[in-house]
């Protein structure tokens, strides 16, 4: 498995993973628009010429924020999410970001364990942020 920067030819595979991973997934047009933004930095994980995961972060001036990370259901628990996160953290650092931020559903134990194992520290809660019901936990890692 290798992690590399997103290319336009990856779109349909990436979008399948998006749709099957998030209840509040982007529309296809919204996702295309997202991927074309100059501040958006997207990576894919590829194995045997197949896209099995992706992640993206925004970079503005000297800060960065992870907006997406997802691994295809059949490939979870094999180190792919961690590899994508490492690639994003390394890229944010090399672009000159001082911090990298993200937010996650309180109930998303798997993602939270991954972030915490990578040095992300929770610094705040956004109450009832998701569907007016579930809190968001805000994380930051200094770079």
Ligand X SMILES: CC(C)(COP(=O)(O)OP(=O)(O)OC[C@H]1O[C@@H](n2cnc3c(N)ncnc32)[C@H](O)[C@@H]1OP(=O)(O)O)[C@@H](O)C(=O)NCCC(=O)NCCS
Q: How far is the CB of 78 from ligand X (least distance, A)?
A: 5
Task: Count the Cβ atoms, other than its own, within 10 Å of residue 64.
Answer: 27
Q: DSSP assignment of 91-102, as one string?
A: HHHHHT-SEEEE
Residue 73 in tokens = 């259901």
Length of the chain: 143
Looking at beta carbons only, is 2 or 38 nearer to ligand X? 2
The strands making up 121-130's β-sheet, listed across from edge to edge, are 2-5, 40-47, 50-60, 63-71, 99-105, 134-142, 121-130
Q: How far is the CB of 101 from ligand X (least distance, A)?
A: 12
Looking at beta carbons only, is 109 or 121 nearer to ligand X? 109
Site string (96-135) toward ligand X, x via CB under 6 A: --------x---xxxx-xx--x------------------
Q: How far is the CB of 69 from ligand X (least distance, A)?
A: 5
Looking at beta carbons only, is 87 or 97 nearer to ligand X? 87
Q: Count CA atoms closer than 13 A to 58's CA, side-chain side.
A: 8
Looking at beta carbons only, is 62 or 116 nearer to ligand X? 116
Residues that bind ligand X (CB under 6 A): 21, 69-71, 76-82, 104, 108-111, 113-114, 117
């Amino acid at each position: 498995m290798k992690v590399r920067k997103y290319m336009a030819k990856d779109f349909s595979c990436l979008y399948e993973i998006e749709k099957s991973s998030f209840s509040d997934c982007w529309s296809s047009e919204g996702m295309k628009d997202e991927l074309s933004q100059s501040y958006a930095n997207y990576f894919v994980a590829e194995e045997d010429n197949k896209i099995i995961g992706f992640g993206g972060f925004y970079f503005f001036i000297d800060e960065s924020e992870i907006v997406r990370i997802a691994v295809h259901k059949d490939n979870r628990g094999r180190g792919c999410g961690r590899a994508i996160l490492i690639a994003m953290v390394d890229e944010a650092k090399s672009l000159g970001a001082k911090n990298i931020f993200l937010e996650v559903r309180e109930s998303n134990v798997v993602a939270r364990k991954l972030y915490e194992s990578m040095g992300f520290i929770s610094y705040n809660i956004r109450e009832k942020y998701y569907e007016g019901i579930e809190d968001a936990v805000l994380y930051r890692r200094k770079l």
